[in-house]
Amino acid sequence: MSSLLAVTEVELWTDGACSGNPGPGGWAALLLMGPHERVLSGGEELTTNNRMELTGVVRGLRALTRPCRVRVHVDSTYVKNAFTNGWLHRWQSNGWATRDKRPVKNRELWLELLVEVARHEVAWVKVAGHTGVKLNERVDRLACAERDRHALRATART
């Protein structure tokens, strides 16, 4: 007799924000599982927007304690296209170099994200940013609040 284990379905909404590039930045992740939700956010005093976009996805997926079926909603073409357009596969095949032989930026975060994605069944959903999509706007506000908090920290030190 075999038993079928139900796979938990999760909606993950993420965003990153940065003031200057580089500059203070923030990331946010919103995990939705049925009626349950979990909000995560953080930031750095000196970072880039792409790093914050990646960090939101990494942290959101890492927060899941068991393999899940995850729909990852991002407004970052950079993050989504790396998976859906084969960029990651090409970068790995090229020894983590781009087509023009430059080192891939944020390699350590891409490696972390690959580990997290391998644990789950992931579908990527591109969301148009700043267009009134309720949950995208929510994670944007959270990421911006973290960015602003880290900007204040940086200002207080100078």
Q: Which of 16, 26, 43, 60 is catalytic?
A: 16
Q: Is 73 a catalytic residue?
A: no
Q: Is 75 a catalytic residue?
A: yes
Instruction: Tell me the CA end-to-end span of the chain in Å, nearest whole number.
Output: 67
Q: Which of 42, 43, 53, 120 is catalytic?
A: 53
Q: Is 56 a catalytic residue?
A: no
Chain centre distance of CA 22: 18
> Could you tell me the strand order of the sheet in which 23-33 lies?
36-47, 23-33, 8-18, 68-74, 121-126
| Three-state SS at 29 | strand
Q: Which of 25, 42, 56, 75 is catalytic?
A: 75
Q: Is 148 a catalytic residue?
A: no
Taking alpha carbons only, the member of 31, 39, 41, 35 closest to residue 69 is 31
Q: Which of 34, 108, 130, 132 is catalytic?
A: 130
Q: Which of 112, 116, 140, 146 is catalytic?
A: 140
Specify whether the CB–CB gap between 20 and 5 falls below 8 A: no
Question: Which positions are annotated as active-site residues?
Answer: 15-16, 53, 75, 130, 140
